[in-house]
Amino acid sequence: MRLIMILSVFLLFMNCEDKQTKKKTTQQHDSTQVKKKQALKKEVETKERAYPKLDSKSAMEFFLEYDKHHKENKVRITTDFGSFDILLFNETKFHRSNFIFLTKQKYFDGTQFYRVIDNFIVQAGNSDDKKTARKRAKIGKYLLPPDTKRGFKHDRGVISMPSSDINNPHKLASPFEFFIVQQQGGSHFLDGDYTIFGRVIRGMEVIDKIAGVDTDDGDWPMKNIYIRKVEIID
């Protein structure tokens, strides 16, 4: 009888030990699998990412090198009001390269004309959609230095880059946004403060239509005006 009790206790102990071992092995296996999945995800993301995540320190070097291999300088912007073409100036190579880079990343697709002032400017490249914020987060957070001494003026039809409003005494350019001068006779009081990096070469009537829409007190169109597509053209 005593022997049977001893054997029962022994078997019970061994069963508990076996369960603990299996539990520990399972936990270790699960942990290993999670680490493998994380490593694989990181590897896939690295392979898919053909460029580094940019910041203000790395952006200039990146676009200097980007300029050597990406010489495109014409884009077509398709909006809810039609399309127009822009010629980007080679003289402002960092800003041209930045615009081409963002175009190839399809950043502008789905953004909006969010500031519209008739007989002044239309401004685009932002949105109240969370997708735009996610695109920016993926590309990186950076500003570009102004390049205002190339002899360009804020004539009607030029495309210029606004400065960031946050902690920016040197008026560094906000790379994700742009504005087009719609004012008859130009807006030359802007000269020297903002970088002109291109001009509309076809479709100014589209800009005029956009400029003429109703807006709220913050100059945001009462009905959203989307950029449907930005593409490089010959």
CA distance 170 to 2: 91
3-state SS string for 60-113: HHHHHHHHHHCCCCEEEEEECCEEEEEEECCCCHHHHHHHHHHHHCCCCCCCEE
Q: How far is CA 46 from CA 39, 41, 42, 53, 194, in A?
A: 10, 9, 6, 11, 35
- When pLDDT is cut at 50, 70 and 90, the band that residue 49 belongs to is confident
Q: How far is CA 50 from CA 47, 127, 139, 227, in A?
A: 7, 25, 11, 25
Mean per-residue pLDDT over the chain, rounded: 87
Does residue 222 register a pLDDT over 60? yes
pTM, two decimals, is 0.79
Q: Which residue has the higher pLDDT, 222 or 5?
A: 222
- When pLDDT is cut at 50, 70 and 90, the band that residue 163 belongs to is confident
